[in-house]
Amino acid sequence: MRNSIRKVGAARSRGRLPLALLSSLGFAALMAAGFWGFGLLQRASEAFPIERVARAAGRYRPLAARLTGGFRYAACGAPARSDRMIAGLVCTQTRVPLEELERVAAELRDCPGDDHARGLFDLLWPHLEGSVEEAVESLRRAAETFPLRAAVHNDLAAALLALAELVPDPKFLIEAHREAQRAIELDSSLAEAWFNRALALKWLHLPEDALEAWSGYLTVDSDSEWAAEARLSSQRLIRSLNAAAEAAARLQVAIRR
């Protein structure tokens, strides 16, 4: 198993997890059962607790965005430099709690109609080809089925933020902001939605709005590890805005001379 885990880390660092390797880890059975298929017929069943997915993930953080269900904090690894238009919304961390997540995958087979839980689970594998797209589709269905559930809209926002980087296409940033805003309207105490709204605004290059959103986040969560990250993001934005203001002032002086 340890050798398999090392292979998983190497494969994910290349951006793709081979199907043969998934088979060696027991995932082929899930695929054969239609777990990943588009044509899976949904049947009525008891909702799968999303907290179960969060507990299995532990300190593993696949995305910069926050997911509901009680996911624990971990730093988001991001490339030091990137030539991509959008970068840093999908974490580079590769240490995955495979055994726990395999158990969750097996349990999810008994709840094939729970699009929210399936979407969350798919988001744990953002470097697996097609996984984020599957998550977006599942969470869109969940949002249509449960339009008043703030958590569903928040997690759809998180999926869209990841998709914006992987495609890449900024239109998903706009949609992510809309879904996060909808989640806040439904539940203004949902810290995850404030967090994701700020991320969307940051990558939409609206720093003043993003700074206001981070401040809003800190009104609902002021003392967690997530809050510390929000403060750091705010400080970086303030430094960036100050530097831009100073550069503009110097330019005005140069023009008048």
Q: In order of start, what are the domains of the chain with their CATH numbers?
A: 2-37+47-256 (1.25.40.10)
> pLDDT over 70 for what percent of the chain?
79
pLDDT top residue among 237 and 255:
237
Burial (CB < 10 A; 0-12, 13-18, 19+), residue 17, is buried
Within 13 Å and on the Cβ side, how many CA atoms surround 79? 10
Q: What is the mean pLDDT of the chain?
A: 83
Output the 3-class SS for 33-92: CCCCCCCCCCCCCCCCCHHHHHHHHCCCCCECCCCCCCCCCCCCCCCCCCCCCCCCCECC
CA distance readout (Å), 201 to 86, 170, 180: 13, 11, 11
Is residue 12 within 8 Å of residue 127, measured between CB atoms? yes
**Which of 102-106, 113-117, 139-143 is modeled with the greatest confidence?**
139-143
What's this model's pTM, rounded to 2 decimal places?
0.79
The DSSP output letter for 93 is: -
Tokens, residue 134: 């599957």
**Residues belonging to the chain:** 257
Sign of CA dihedral 183, 70, 75, 102: negative
Kindly report the number of other CB atoms within 10 A of residue 71's CB atom: 24
Is residue 197 within 8 Å of residue 190, measured between CB atoms? no
Q: Tens of pLDDT along 160-184?
A: 999 999 999 999 999 999 999 999 9
> pLDDT over 90 for what percent of the chain?
65
Q: Please report the pLDDT score of residue 61 as a whole number.
A: 95
Q: Please report the pLDDT score of residue 91 as a whole number.
A: 94
Residue 32 confidence class, pLDDT cut points 50, 70, 90: very low
Q: Tens of pLDDT along 6-23?
A: 334 444 443 444 333 343
